[in-house]
Amino acid sequence: MAFPATRLRRTRQADWVRRLTRETRPTVDDLVWSMIVHDGDTPRIPITAMPGVERLNIEEAAKAARRAQDLGIPAIAMFPNIDPSKKDETGSEALNPKGLIPEAIRAMKAAAPDVGIICDVALDPFTSHGHDGLIDETGYVLNDETTELLVKQAIVQAEAGADVVAPSDMMDGRIGAIRKGLEAAGHTNTLILSYAAKYASAFYGPYREAVGSATVLKSDKKTYQMDFGNSDEAIREVAMDIEEGADMVMVKPGLPYLDIVQRISKELHVPTLVFHVSGEYAAIQASAQRGWIDEDRAIVEITSAFKRAGASGIITYNADKLAQMLK
């Protein structure tokens, strides 16, 4: 129908009709709370590059899990910051069954059994060089040797009670190896969330400060994370990971890759999560602190964009605030 029979502004003229005709509505059920835990005694340590986000000790992480449960947030994605003295070339602390992550899992599940706990599977928070895996004498990250350690790391997490293991390392073949390892260890119901389309991005800087890898990482990760010019490659990565046993897949970062989220969700019909990463979070905070944007409106708008693109869930540092707003 042509104007004036059709006036599209009619359904925009008042709040009630805008709400009534809105196509996309993010809810609390869409949220995963991204959380940094540390192995010290200090309850909360502010992260300079991420205003409003703090590293939590295990006790505070358990309290945060209870808060997530009270708010109705389905899951928490947990990332470690360990004492630098525990880091080494091989990231051996990642395999410690009494290390930070296993102990935090147990505390959080005890405090909030109905909240899913998602654990990062990668070595970068544990290595003295800041890479996601083992490196050779040239600094190249070794694929198969790294995968062997990732399998062990995932099993340690599953045995501590993790609901989901989430390999973020981008090694070839690691999903199949981890699935085989979990099955052999009796963890048949442990889910795998694959960081299947993880791009070599400029938006990870604040996170690397948060987990303590920024100061030790001397080279980029372009030999294993995806090139930001590629989209067909993302479909191949996701398809392979599904075939190898991934239950859900991830696109990371978020806003610059909405086209990838849409392609994966529409073409492969698999639960597709998106990570609203630290650099995106920090940019919003910096702008809001200067009065350039309205933070509340911005984070709801961004979350709606993720849902409109087809995301099944959104991992975000704003999950607790969003949960209150969306409810």
Catalytic one of 87, 109, 198, 307: 198
Concerning whether 252 is annotated as a catalytic residue, the answer is: yes
3-state SS, residue 297:
helix
Q: Give Cβ neighbours of residue 57 (< 8 Å, ≥ 6 apart).
A: 37, 38, 39, 40, 41, 42, 43, 44
Count of residues making up the chain: 327
Catalytic residue among 252, 266, 307, 321: 252
Helices 232-244 & 174-184 angle (0-180, nearest 10): 20
Residue 240 CB contacts under 8 Å (≥ 6 apart), including other chains: 175
> Among all chains, which residue has been given the structure tokens 């979990």?
182
- What burial class does residue 177 get, using C-beta atoms within 10 Å of its C-beta: 0-12 exposed, 13-18 middle, 19+ buried? buried
Cβ-based burial of 135 (10 A; exposed 0-12, middle 13-18, buried ≥19) = buried
Q: Which residue has the tokens 């910051």?
A: 81
Contact 210, 79 (CB under 8 A): yes
Rounded CA separation 29/14 (Å): 27
Task: Reduce the secondary structure of 213-239 to three states and give it as a string.
Answer: CCCCCCCCCCCCCECCCCCHHHHHHHH
- Whether residue 243 is annotated as binding a ligand: the answer is no
- 180 catalytic per annotation: no
| Cβ-contact 276, 317 below 8 angstroms | yes
The CA-atom distances, in angstroms, between 27 and each of 94, 147, 176, 253, 301 are 34, 36, 33, 21, 12
Residue ranges of the binding site: 237
Q: Which residues are catalytic?
A: 198, 252
Residue ranges of the binding site for Mg(2+): 237
